[in-house]
Amino acid sequence: MADHPTRRDYPWHCVLLTRWMDNDIYGHVNNVTYYSYFDTAANRYLIEHGGLDIQNAPVVGFVVTSHCDYHAPVAFPDTVSIGLRVDKLGTRSVTYGFGVFRNDEDTAAATASFTHVFVERASGKAVAIPDSIRTALDDLT
This prediction has a pTM of 0.94
Mean pLDDT of the 44-60 span: 96
With 90 as the cut, is the pLDDT of residue 21 above it?
A: yes
Please check the confidence at residue 82 and state whether its pLDDT lies above 80: yes
Q: Which of 1, 3, 7 is nearest to 81 (CA)?
A: 7
d(CA 122, CA 5): 38
Q: What CATH number has the domain spanning 7-138?
A: 3.10.129.10
pLDDT tens digits for range 99-122: 999 999 999 999 999 999 999 999
Tell me what pLDDT residue 3 has. 73
Strand order in the sheet with 12-17: 12-17, 79-89, 93-102, 110-120, 59-70
Return the domain boundaries, the chain: 7-138
User: What is the rounded average pLDDT for all residues in the chain?
Assistant: 96
